[in-house]
Structure 1
Amino acid sequence: MPDDELTALVRAIAWELIQLGYVPTERPGFVQRGDREPVRIVATETWQAMQQILQGAQP
């Protein structure tokens, strides 16, 4: 899979997680939804993409 396709896939996954109410925590790789305990997501790249999207970058 070319890098640009992989990047698009990671950003799409990050966008979907945000739409489901998940946000990245201060711990790299962990996301949280509401009051629930933080959960580890496998790809740190997805966590970083979530942060970028929430800071104003487009999905």
Structure 2
Amino acid sequence: MQRRKDQSVVNARTVIGAACRDIIADGKAIHLRQLDARARGKVLGTIRGVIGVLQEVKEALGVS
């Protein structure tokens, strides 16, 4: 069960990272509304702590 959870977080981080890069490319600010519009149904409902993962991805991209 833990392995499945970890895999879901890894998958979510990948999708969130791609969505964040797209949002930046469009010249928009990264926030949950923009993320939801681009990744709806893909990951947002599959993991707990989506905001924490979003913050990690933003840090990795060097965006505040």
- Please state which band the TM-score falls in when normalised by the shorter chain: 0.5 to 0.7
Alpha-carbon shift at residue 39 of structure 1 (Å): 4.0
Instruction: State how 1:5-16 maps to structure 2 within 5 Å.
Output: 5-16=7-18
3-state DSSP of counterpart to 1:30 = helix
Provide the alpha-carbon RMSD of the alignment: 3.3
Alpha-carbon shift at residue 47 of structure 1 (Å): 4.8
- After TM superposition, the score normalised by the length of structure 1 is 0.52
- After TM superposition, the score normalised by the length of structure 2 is 0.49
| Runs of 5+ unmatched residues, structure 1 | 33-37
| Runs of 5+ unmatched residues, structure 2 | 25-29
Q: Normalized per residue, which structure has more helix?
A: 2
Percent identity (aligned): 10
| Paired position in structure 1 for 2:54 | 50
Q: Normalized per residue, which structure has more strand?
A: 1
Higher relative contact order (CA closer than 8 Å, sequence separation 6+): 2
Provide the aligned length of Structure 1 versus Structure 2. Answer: 48
